[in-house]
Amino acid sequence: MAGEALPPSRLCDHPGCEGGGDFRAPRSRLELDRYYWFCLEHVRAYNLAWNYYAGMNEGEIEAEIRRDTVWQRPTWKLGERHGPGPPIRDHFGFYTGTAQERAGRRGNGQAGGHANGHAKDAAARAASARDQAMAVFDLEPPLTPVRLKARYKTLVKQHHPDAHGGDKAAEEKLKIINQAYATLKASYFN
């Protein structure tokens, strides 16, 4: 007889993925005994991103994972397949009041169809990403392409890992700077 029972079949926790959740990955450094379940492709992506996620709490990590796919799968929630857990900390306003709002708006008991709240969340998220990016760049308005680019060059020079002996923290900081630069360009100059 085979010794171990097969684990219950589950789906990959990556939004929209139809793969099997065969590989587990700890949710955060603080909760190494709580897991996401991913397919091989997505557990690899998650592991690659592990350093990027370092220092974020669970709610922030979930917001990051959701960011790219939230338009395709507005009702998707991490972890809902795995039964009730502690409430998700809601730094980005994704979950605020959604259950009650949905119930109030719909009344037909069907899932889906809360596009209004979703668009509002997305706008708030975009504004907050812009504010954070401005803070990273430590710039006051008015922003011009020339000022933005000059500041970007300065920051890259300051934080380039080569200037810090390949220091990990500098690498992370540079990643944040690059992301903020993309956010600001897209917000103001596209």
Q: Which residues make up the interface to Zn ion (CB under 5 A)? A: 12, 14, 17, 19, 39, 42
Closest contact distance (angstroms) between CB of 15 and Zn ion is: 9
Query: Which C-beta is closer to Zn ion: that of 65 or that of 174?
Result: 65
User: What does the alpha-carbon distance between residue 14 and residue 29 come to, in Å, rounded to a whole number?
Assistant: 19
- In the complex, minimum distance from the CB of residue 104 to Zn ion, in angstroms, rounded to a whole number: 33
Q: Which two tokens stand for residue 47?
A: 């592991």
Task: Output the smallest distance, CB 19 to Zn ion, in A.
Answer: 4
Rounded to whole angstroms, the Cα distance separating 118 from 96 reads: 11
Q: What phi-psi label fits residue 166: left (phi over 0), alpha (psi between -120 and 50 degrees) or beta?
A: left
| Closer residue to Zn ion (CB): 19 or 161 | 19
Query: Token pair for residue 75?
Result: 């009702």
Count of all residues that appear for the chain in the document: 190
Tell me how far, at minimum, the Cβ of 168 lies from Zn ion, in Å: 27
> Based on CB atoms, which residue is closest to Zn ion, 17 or 170?
17
Q: Which is nearer to Zn ion, 14 or 66 (CB)?
A: 14
- Work out the number of other CB atoms within 10 angstroms of the CB of residue 84: 7
